[in-house]
């Protein structure tokens, strides 16, 4: 179990709910480049689906669809799966920072805090998928220390599975 309150020392972190959907959609709509590389679109229905989507073998207790907040409201969203594809690995299904905060090091800072928390919780790796061809996402995750492992074709487009080692087995 991941204590999401520990994901950031700087921001308040909590599980997102139905009332947060308009803010999540608004945050996502400000990132048209991201959506050029996937067939998914930022709608209330899609956010609802994302809030409950699970990989094979995982349960609702393993999923953390969380938001980072400052005094101005929602600044970032993360979809985190505990123990996928194995118990030593945490999986980030989605991460996005509010557009006006882009390029200020906040996304990198948040991922550093998340990485530290997951390492302290005993995880050895973090995995995620990067939409193929998206230069912004690819550069961001590479800068965070993720390396490409394998290419997959999914219903929503081609992605690269990427991984970062964060702890010892």
Domains of the chain: 4-124 (3.40.630.30)
Say if CB 78 and CB 92 are below 8 A apart.
yes
Question: 83-111 as b/e, with b when 16 or more CB fall inside 10 Å?
Answer: bbeeeebbbbbbbbbbeeeeeeebbeebb
Q: Rounded to the nearest 5°, which phi and psi values hold at 10?
A: -95, -35
Specify the pLDDT at position 155. Answer: 76
- Looking at residue 51, what DSSP letter applies? H
Q: Any idea how long the chain is?
A: 169
Q: Which residues pair with 97 in a beta bridge?
A: 76
35 burial (CB, 10 Å; 0-12 / 13-18 / 19+) is middle
Q: Which residues pair with 91 in a beta bridge?
A: 81, 127
pLDDT per residue rounded down to tens, the chain (169 residues): 899 999 999 999 999 999 999 999 999 999 888 888 788 899 999 999 999 999 999 999 999 999 999 999 999 999 999 999 999 999 999 999 999 998 899 999 999 999 999 999 999 999 999 988 888 899 999 999 999 999 888 777 788 999 999 976 5
Residue 157: left (phi > 0), alpha (psi -120 to 50), or beta? left
> Which residue's structure tokens are 């349960």?
59
Q: pTM of the prediction?
A: 0.93
């Amino acid at each position: 179990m991941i204590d999401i309150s520990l994901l950031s020392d700087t921001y308040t972190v909590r599980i997102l709910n139905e009332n947060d959907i308009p803010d999540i959609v608004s945050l996502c709509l400000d990132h048209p480049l991201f959506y050029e590389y996937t067939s998914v679109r930022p709608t209330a229905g899609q956010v609802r689906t994302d809030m409950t989507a699970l990989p094979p073998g995982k349960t609702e207790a393993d999923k953390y669809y969380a938001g980072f907040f400052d005094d101005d409201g929602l600044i970032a969203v993360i979809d985190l799966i505990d123990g996928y594809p194995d118990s030593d690995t945490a999986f980030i299904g989605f991460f996005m920072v509010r557009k006006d905060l882009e390029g200020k090091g906040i996304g990198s800072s948040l991922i550093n805090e998340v990485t530290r928390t997951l390492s302290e919780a005993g995880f050895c790796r973090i995995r995620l998928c990067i939409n193929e061809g998206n230069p912004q996402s690819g550069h961001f995750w590479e800068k965070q220390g993720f390396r490409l492992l394998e290419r997959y074709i999914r219903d929503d487009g081609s992605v690269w599975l990427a991984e970062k080692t964060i702890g010892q087995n």
